[in-house]
A = this chain, B = another copy of it.
Amino acid sequence: MEQATKFELTQEFHDRFQQALNERDAAFISAILEEVNPADITSLLYEFSSEESKFVLDILPLPTRAQIVNDLDTDTRKKILEIYSAAELTEVVNQLDSDDVADILNELPIQVSEEIIGNLDQDLKTQVIDLLRYDEHVAGGLMAKELIRVRANWTVVECIDEIRKQAENVAKFYTAYVVDEKDKLLGHVALQKLILSDSKTLVKDICEDDITPVETYMEEREVAEIMKKYDLESVPVVNVQGQLVGRITIDDVVDVISDQAEEERQLMSGITEDVEEDDTLLKNVRARLPWLLIGIFGGMLSARFMGFFEHELTKIAAIAFFVPLIQATGGNVGIQSSGLVVQSLANPGYLDEGIWKRLMKMFYVAILNALLLSVIVLAATYVFFDNHRLSFIVSFALFCVVMFSSFVGTLTPIFISRLGFNPALASGPFITTASDLLGLTIYFMTVHVLL
């Protein structure tokens, strides 16, 4: 029994492996990988080229090969599968569950995926064709067709026979779904209940109806929320007629939650494409450029705007000294406010009618922060810069900037979320650019009026 320590990929192992790859030493690779968990081989493959990865995969037994292909991240898999023939691919995907096959087929060119579908095992083929109808990001695209389906009028012994028949196809199951003669979902029987019941008991007598099916068109985000909220390890999927068509297991949802976190991180970092460090140079540049250009555009606007105050600036250069202070604080306040709102939007119980209460709270927090910061800045500028009027102006402008940025930072994510976009978009460079322009305008208006 192996201990669950993380598989450590040492430099030595890596080099030895690379050498074996260069020499195409199949015997050595096969021997060295025999004891390694497939999930660790998957991680290992990220270090090598697509051709090398295929060489390694072809050495491995078919079930392991299929599991690894399934575990690979989408980008890496795409690259590796490009060099596979349709026949080789068919052999691999025939090993997988229907939902995983559908995901992989969705990534392939149409003609390749058509050819593969044509050659799938009959049962799998029917299931996969059914799954391909659904968008990837709804319950129908997330579900697997493999499940244990029993009739309400069966006995426990008939159920166990059915489980015996299905055991080969269904890898993990904890519950049998109970349906009527029209396949309408009635409830479920937990495996432990089956074990503990007399073999002549009727399913309908031990069937529990405290089950929460989701419909095929429900958004994956919502499915994840429901499974998390009600602590479910699997959830049945029904069509509009209430017929049982599949089930979603918690491991699929763990992936949804992780992907969401990654998407948010990217939005908050101002990266516009799903990109990783190992992607091509061009893709990396392209993913970063849009927000940089918007930033540049904002910067040019700022420059034009400050141009109107050239006269004031030439007279008192010190006005310019505090532009970074004003802008940085505006940006920070904006990011913090939007960050908190994005977090609230992600949590349950965020009421529509709560907006006014929230705005009032935000308002008090902003006033307190604004007061504290402007007093500190007033004192500091008073000591370090010998211009009392400018001290007052900077401090007053800072107060206004904190107030306005709080306001914009709070409302923007709510607005973006209402428009149907991910509110995390508002926690990134978007809010920074907006706060920069806002801060500059407030500051120079104050300078213009008060100086």
Contact = CB atoms under 8 A, between A and B. Distances in A.
A34 interface: no
Interface residues on A, range: 35 or more
A323 interface: yes
Contacts of A163: 192, 195-196
Interface in A252-310: 253-255, 257-258, 260-262, 264-266, 268-271, 275-278, 281, 284-285, 288-289, 291-293, 295-296, 298-300, 302-304, 306-307, 310
A275 B340 contact: yes
A266 B261 CA distance: 12
A32 interface: no
A173 to B, nearest CB: 7
Contact of A222 (B6, B167, B314, B377): B6
Interface stretch (A51-59, A129-137, A429-437): A429-437
A209 interface: yes
Interface in A9-62: 9, 11, 14, 37, 39, 43-44, 46-47
Contact of A361 (B277, B293, B340): B277
A376 B294 CA distance: 12
Given A4-B214, A213-B3, A265-B342, A251 B226 contact: no
Interface string A53-83: 0000000000000000000000000000000
A307 to B, nearest CB: 6
Interface string A433-449: 10010001000000000
A373 interface: yes
A2 interface: yes
A373 to B, nearest CB: 6
10 contacts: A231-B251, A265-B424, A269-B340, A281-B368, A295-B328, A298-B324, A300-B384, A304-B384, A323-B324, A432-B432
